[in-house]
């Protein structure tokens, strides 16, 4: 049951893979805006599969045996909005709206 890469990377250094066991998966680094304080952007390592988006401080933390993910974002029923800045047709920022929280990512 091997992982196979399919296609090329999508934006933000994310890569898509397909596993016979887990199905499609996307993983890599994204910036996440802090919810409190000064709203700084922090780089986190994300893995998305089976309707869930999990993240860690970095890839090494994810690959550490027994390491627990920092947070899980349930994408089932969530709404996702692309943020387009005034005067620009491109955007790398998006917001995930869940029933209890907003997540700003880029």
The residue written with tokens 């304080």 in the block is 37
Residue 60 is given by DSSP the state: H
The 3-state secondary structure of 63-80, one letter per residue: HCCCCCCCEEEECCCCEE
User: Can you give the pTM of this predicted structure?
Assistant: 0.75
Residue 61 is given by DSSP the state: H
**pLDDT tens, 41-56?**
999 999 999 999 999 9
Half-sphere exposure of 51 (CA within 13 A, CB side): 6
Mean pLDDT score of the chain, rounded to an integer?
A: 83
Is the pLDDT score of 76 beyond 60?
yes
Compute the CA torsion angle 7, 10, 15, 16 (nearest 10 deg).
Answer: -50
Cα–Cα distance for residue pair 93/72, rounded to 1 Å = 19
**pLDDT tens, 19-45?**
888 788 999 999 999 887 677 999 999
**Residue-level pLDDT at 20:** 81
Of residues 94 and 69, more confidently modeled: 94
**Residue-level pLDDT at 24:** 85
């Amino acid at each position: 049951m091997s992982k196979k890469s399919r296609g090329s990377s999508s934006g933000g250094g994310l890569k898509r893979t397909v596993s016979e066991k887990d199905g499609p998966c996307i993983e890599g680094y994204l910036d996440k805006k802090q919810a409190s304080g000064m709203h700084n952007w922090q780089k986190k390592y994300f893995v998305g599969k089976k309707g869930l988006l999990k993240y860690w401080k970095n890839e090494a933390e994810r690959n550490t045996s027994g390491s627990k993910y920092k947070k899980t974002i349930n994408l089932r029923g969530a709404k996702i909005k692309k943020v387009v800045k005034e005067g620009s047709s491109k955007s790398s920022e998006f917001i995930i709206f869940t029933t209890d929280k907003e997540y700003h990512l880029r």
